[in-house]
């Protein structure tokens, strides 16, 4: 007979080995709504995100960059502020109620006592008609944003895909576009002056809005890890 194999005994002073943690699986988060970009004579440029459908429910946020480069985020909850601030880069983050009203072609945005914004949009042009002709399920897909990225860079000077903060990736699928024709902006009680192009771009991420002030119907897809 062969001798029985002895079972190894564990040293009680030695900790049990732990299995290596599994890498976090990436998830895709979709934000469906509108993005408006506009400039002011003061040099401050603004980007409004108005999301009818998102992983956080409906919400709106405003990104601003002053002429000197200071970047400010206005978001309605700590949760949305943390997510946006990890995706983009800001020098200051303020959690304030952000309320958006739409009546015909007139949009109003009030962010606490900090921001009062009113703007009007015009009729869609040729590009807006072209974007609207693409079926929504197609233009919402990241593949569509990847394919249209070269044309967006050439025609509008913007990118529709790229990397973001916290190891995230983003895709912007545009469905419609209207020009912003007038705007009135007061920040902290100060009038920022009449509407101007978004120039220079808003430097909070890999892309900005088109140079010409506009309102874009968009589906944004963010790929992130569950821990990001």
What b-and-e string marks burial along 50-82, b requiring 16 or more CB atoms within 10 Å of the CB? Answer: bbeebebeebbbbbbbeeeeebbbbbbbeebbe
pLDDT given for residue 160 in this prediction: 82
User: Residue 8: is its pLDDT beyond 50?
Assistant: no
pLDDT given for residue 141 in this prediction: 86
User: What span, in angstroms and rounded, lies between the C-alpha atoms of 90 and 82?
Assistant: 11
pLDDT given for residue 164 in this prediction: 86
Tens digits of per-residue pLDDT, 32-48? 999 999 999 999 999 99
Q: Which of these ranges, 19-28, 90-99, 182-191, 200-209, has the smallest mean pLDDT?
A: 19-28
Average pLDDT estimate for 70-76: 97
User: What span, in angstroms and rounded, lies between the C-alpha atoms of 201 and 38?
Assistant: 10
Rg of the chain (C-alpha set) = 23
- Strands (E) located in the chain: 26-40, 45-53, 59-65, 71-75, 92-95, 98-103, 106-111, 115-121, 161-163, 169-187, 190-191, 195-196, 214-225
User: What span, in angstroms and rounded, lies between the C-alpha atoms of 114 and 187?
Assistant: 5
Helices (H), 157-222: none
Q: Are 223 and 168 in contact (CB under 8 A)?
A: yes
- Per domain, the residue ranges of the chain are 29-225
pLDDT given for residue 22 in this prediction: 56
pLDDT given for residue 14 in this prediction: 57
Higher pLDDT, 128 or 46: 46
């Amino acid at each position: 007979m062969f001798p029985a194999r002895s079972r190894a005994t564990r040293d009680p002073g030695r900790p049990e080995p732990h299995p290596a943690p599994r890498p976090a699986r990436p998830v895709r988060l979709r934000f469906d709504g509108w993005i408006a970009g506009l400039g002011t004579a003061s040099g401050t440029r603004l980007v409004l995100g108005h999301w009818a459908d998102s992983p956080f429910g409906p919400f709106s946020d405003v990104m601003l960059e002053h002429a000197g480069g200071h970047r400010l985020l206005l978001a309605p909850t700590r949760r949305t502020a943390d997510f946006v601030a990890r995706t983009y880069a800001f020098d200051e983050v303020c959690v304030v109620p952000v309320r958006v009203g739409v009546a015909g072609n007139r949009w109003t945005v009030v962010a606490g006592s900090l921001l009062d914004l009113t703007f009007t949009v015009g009729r869609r042009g040729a590009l807006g008609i072209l974007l609207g002709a693409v079926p929504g399920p197609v233009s919402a897909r990241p593949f569509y944003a990847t394919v249209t990225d070269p044309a967006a860079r050439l025609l509008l000077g913007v990118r529709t895909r790229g990397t973001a903060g916290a190891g995230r990736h983003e895709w912007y699928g545009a469905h419609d576009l209207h020009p912003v024709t007038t705007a009135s902006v007061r920040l902290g009680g100060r009038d920022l002056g009449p509407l101007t192009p978004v120039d220079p771009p808003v430097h909070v991420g890999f892309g900005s809005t088109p140079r010409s002030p506009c309102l874009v119907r968009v589906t944004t897809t963010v790929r992130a890890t569950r821990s990001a």
